[in-house]
Structure 1
Amino acid sequence: MIVGAGVAGLAAAWWLDKVGWRSLVVERAPGLRQNGYMLGLSGPGFETVGRMGLLDKLEAASYRIDENVYRDSSGRELLRLRYRDFIRDLPYLAIRRNDLVQALAESLSDTAEIRFGETVTGFEDKGTHVDVALECGETVKADLLIGADGFRSYTRQTLFGPDGDCLQPLGYYFSVYDVDAPKQFETDFVSYAEPGHLAEYYALHDGRLAAMHVWRDPRSGLERSDDKATLLKSISVGSHPQVRALLDQADGAGDPIIVDSLTMIDLPRWSKGRVLLLGDAAHCLTLVSGQGAGMALASAEMLGEALRVSDDPVTALGRHEARLRPIIGRLQARSRKMAAIFIPQSPFAFHLRNFVMRNMPRAWLGRYFSSAIRAEIELVRMR
């Protein structure tokens, strides 16, 4: 039984099928999530989708993003970042999260069933199996329960109790939505940056834009705001007119706007008995890491391998965690460091960061990022 039809849950169903398991995936949404931010797939996650035979399908749905143009709130160009300066000769795909999820769902075999509009209301580990109660009234007897239900995981809270200290806010919120592209939008990827706030826009294949805002904010609970458009407008009051116009457009069209915090999960263990947390439910890396979806894919592959070589699921879960934890620890440490400089809060820090980025040799940046990705690949292979 897998809770959540996102990247981690669907990848787990795919890899478990390869080692002889039959999976039931339950998803509370009425269908696959259609909105999602743009993500870069490189490193261990890229290698995993290659072994899944999904590269051709994902490449067909991917986006070519040569450079990111940064502008300030007055429209002046701050800098241009070319992706190849960062990833150099490493394989890389820029793809929307929903396109990745769609490809995973379409690749599942008949041994995996997805039930939409269904939720888990409780579970009990019996030692030899897990009894999982569904909202429809059915109780499913499962050999293994996998909670892949996101960083606000019901499975995690039921397994380990209230989240408490395991939630580690990085001090940011993010918001994503789609909106029709204005006629004057002439670049594939533009960012409007200002102290404490970044608004990014990616050109999609259908004449629309994928918008993402990230901003520093010490307040808690903003994701529960009833009027997310008004919240974003208050954050963007001093932003470039294009940012405010696109927000008004999205609000007027009634386009869904998602708001949530950038919060890492830090748990001393990811499983208990026959219940396992996977992906964001276990160790949310946030978009600061650049490897959240990739590690969800890679960890699902590791789980399949652990179950393949062990007759005891509980032993397999321990082996999976022992292999994965050093990699996740490295990525979480990097995310904490990056978060401190991700979006400078003060005008002085903002201008200093831009000056450094403009004048730093691109070869230095390229070596830093490409060596980090290569190290993650090697760490996965070694373990």
Structure 2
Amino acid sequence: MTKPHAVIIGGGVAGLAAAWWLDKAGWQSTIIERAKSLRNRGYMVSLTGLGYETVKKMDLYDRLKAISYTIDENIYKNSKGKELIRLHYRDFVNDLPYLAVSRSDLVTVLANALPVGAKLCPDTHVLTLEKSADGYKIELNNHDILHCDMVLGCDGLRSSLRQQYFDKDGKSLQPLGYCFAVYDINHVKDFDYDFLSYVEPRHFAEYYSLHDGKLAALHIWRDERSNPHITADGYQLLKQIVRGSNRQVRDLLSIAQKEKAPILVDSLTMVDLPQWYNGKMLLLGDAAHCLTLISGQGAGMALASTEMLGMALAKYQNIEQAFTVHDRQLRPIIKRLQERTRKMAPMFVPATAFTFHLRNIVLKFMPKSWLYHYFTNAVKSEIALTHSL
């Protein structure tokens, strides 16, 4: 008997994980990835709660654990180099199990775990997508024609599938008032703690060492425009942002620019869609419900949502019924996470000197038990909510 066929658009965390869970549900899949190679840039992600449970069910825990990072101490300094706060990650998670991995490592592990029934097609994109009697007919840029029973849109925050079929006016995009940039630097870590962060009103820069010896950099800065223009020259933009920052921040940026290190620049924008599926087409991950890095749950929820989909497809032969069950399970969790992100966003990188100093004082003197209970109770409630549905 021929297995049903899904075309997955996007070879990131959601797309690769979806192929794995579809295989468990008795499906075959083709993953269409526009880039010539899998994503090799991105920030650190922490897998806790539902995302952590999903990678264990996929038997990926040992592989991810072997390449995970130890996160203990994060030192926050101001633009003059004075230490402001010293935070320990364990103050947030205590005994809650977690994995800290780079997004690129997570993508690599997922790609290496692809089942035989999943075909990955890099350097490929969709030219035309038409409904057929029993699914969809898709023409690719290499002139291949695919026939499939279902289409999954896993093409990220800037999803072309979402824009074409779900949100032509872009009303689902909700900028949080920030932009971010990530890049790697050929520079050996010269600090003893795991993370070094330079913070100032309207800007935040964080550095940590990668397994290959490079230094990873993450910048986040305020930009309250509803549609911030992201220039093609990310380094020139960042030079303006960091002109009043600590000397080390400016020097490391100059090193990366001279090396012509690839840089990713974008806005922190949530996606809030009232409908994630349309017929036999479904959006997953950031394409459906981007949470932004403020939530700390984007990659984990992308993984968990693909598990929910796979389990629903295994139980229900009707695709749209499976989509309905997936929506009913996932939406309350996403809604809660997005509400939390909206509340946290104003204090993430304070806009004024007053709110900046107030935030630092609160973090410095707040009992660590409060941080622990807030974070762990939120994660445990999401797990409990899923298990109750």
TM bucket normalised to smaller: over 0.9
* Matches of 1:161 and 1:169, distance apart in 2: 15
Q: Give 1:134's aligned residue.
A: 140
Three-state SS of the structure 1 residue aligned to 2:80 is coil
Which segments of 5 or more consecutive residues in structure 2 lack a partner in the other structure?
1-6
Residue deviations 1:266-292, cap 9 Å, x none?
111000001000000001000011100
1:252 aligned onto 2:258: yes
Residue deviations 1:173-206, cap 9 Å, x none?
0000000224633322110000010000111122
Question: Which of 83, 86, 89 pairs up with 1:77?
Answer: 83
* Matches of 1:242 and 1:185, distance apart in 2: 12
Question: Which of 167, 180, 192 pairs up with 1:174?
Answer: 180
Which segments of 5 or more consecutive residues in structure 1 lack a partner in the other structure?
none
8 Å contact kept, 1:127–1:274: no
TM-score scaled by length of structure 1 = 0.98
8 Å contact kept, 2:271–2:287: yes
- Aligned ranges for residues 83-98 of structure 1 at < 5 Å? 83-98=89-104
1:303 is matched by which residue type in structure 2? L
- Aligned ranges for residues 342-353 of structure 1 at < 5 Å? 342-353=348-359
Three-state SS of the structure 2 residue aligned to 1:238 is coil
8 Å contact kept, 1:127–1:273: no
Residue deviations 1:103-146, cap 9 Å, x none?
00101111000000000123123352111221122221111000
1:207 aligned onto 2:207: no
Q: Give 2:376's aligned residue.
A: 370
* Matches of 1:25 and 1:101, distance apart in 2: 13
- Aligned ranges for residues 1-383 of structure 1 at < 5 Å? 1-126=7-132, 128-182=134-188, 184-219=190-225, 224-383=230-389
8 Å contact kept, 1:144–1:274: yes
Q: Give the superposition deviation at 1:66.
A: 0.6
1:159 is matched by which residue type in structure 2? Y
8 Å contact kept, 1:222–1:259: no
Q: Give the superposition deviation at 1:378.
A: 1.1
* Matches of 1:183 and 1:104, distance apart in 2: 28
* Matches of 1:206 and 1:279, distance apart in 2: 28
* Matches of 2:317 and 2:226, distance apart in 1: 45
- Segment of structure 1 superposing worse, 122-131 or 275-284: 122-131
Check 1:310–1:297 CA distance in 2 against 1; reply closer, same or farther (3 A cut). same
Alpha-carbon RMSD: 1.2
TM-score scaled by length of structure 2 = 0.96
Q: Give the superposition deviation at 1:161.
A: 4.3
* Matches of 1:122 and 1:282, distance apart in 2: 21
Q: Give the superposition deviation at 1:223.
A: 5.8
1:353 is matched by which residue type in structure 2? R
* Matches of 1:175 and 1:222, distance apart in 2: 14
- Segment of structure 1 superposing worse, 131-140 or 40-49: 131-140
1:165 is matched by which residue type in structure 2? K
Higher helix share: 1
Q: Give the superposition deviation at 1:230.
A: 0.9
Three-state SS of the structure 1 residue aligned to 2:176 is strand
Check 1:354–1:73 CA distance in 2 against 1; reply closer, same or farther (3 A cut). same
* Matches of 1:280 and 1:340, distance apart in 2: 21
Q: Give the superposition deviation at 1:21.
A: 0.3
Q: Give 2:4's aligned residue.
A: none
8 Å contact kept, 2:175–2:226: no
